[in-house]
Structure 1
Amino acid sequence: MKRLWLLSVLILIIMAGCSANAADAPKDGPGLFEQKCSACHGSNLKGATAGPAVLNMKSKYTEDELIKLMTDGKGMMPGKLLTETENKLVAQWLLEQ
């Protein structure tokens, strides 16, 4: 009985931690970019460790092309790091930069 109670408490703690992380997730283009993309592309959008600069994307891509690139990935960039909605938010924000 004591083990069952301990297991129940542990499961509740883990579930609370998971839901807190989901609530803290960014819901806008800049926040999503900072969380998921800036390690490679730099917080200043000028490129970093592995990724190229992502400034002036409007001159290179349409919104649909940029979303496809983010969804499919290219070269060293993995795809499917963001949901469809998150890709759209980041793409729209990048096209304004």
Structure 2
Amino acid sequence: MKRLWAVSATSLLMLLFLLTGCSSESSSSAKDGETIYKDNCAACHGDQLQGAVGPSIVNMKSKYSEDEVLKIINEGTTKMPGNLLTDEESKIVTKWLWEK
């Protein structure tokens, strides 16, 4: 019985350790727009904004207002799902895109 408890306790501690590493507790304000973009958007829009599966998003400033970009990120489009980022992350990425 003691051995089973030791294995269970060890397994529980390992699980907690892993979950802590995957936690969303790290504040998105600590993340910059580039990091959020690379973690969530680059797979479809390319690591240089050049487009891949999704369209190029280079020079968004010339195509949309800042509010429109934020709305697209939050609500998605017919081809892009919305609600992939928190409100705070969406704002950070929008500001970052605006600087590109």
| Count of residues in correspondence between the two structures | 95
CA distance in 2, matches of 1:78, 1:9: 39
Aligned position for 1:15: 16
Alignment correspondent of 1:66: 69
Query: Residue type of the partner of 2:84?
Result: L
Shift of 1:65: 1.6
Between the aligned partners of 2:67 and 2:8, the Cα distance in structure 1 is: 47
- Structure label with greater radius of gyration: 2
* 1:76 is the counterpart of 2:79: yes
CA distance in 2, matches of 1:62, 1:18: 39
Give 1:32 shift. 0.7
**Equivalent position amino acid for 1:95 in 2:** W
2:7 pairs with 1:3:
no
Between the two proteins, what is the percent identity of the paired residues? 40
Shift of 1:38: 0.5
1:56 aligns with 2:59: yes
Q: Quote the RMSD (CA, aligned, Å).
A: 1.8
Amino acid in the other structure paired with 1:21:
C
Q: Could you report, residue by residue, the CA deviation over 1:3-35 in whole angstroms, capped at 9, with x for unpaired residues? A: 343223212212211222345x87110011011
Q: In 2, Cα distance between the equivalents of 1:3 and 1:64?
A: 57
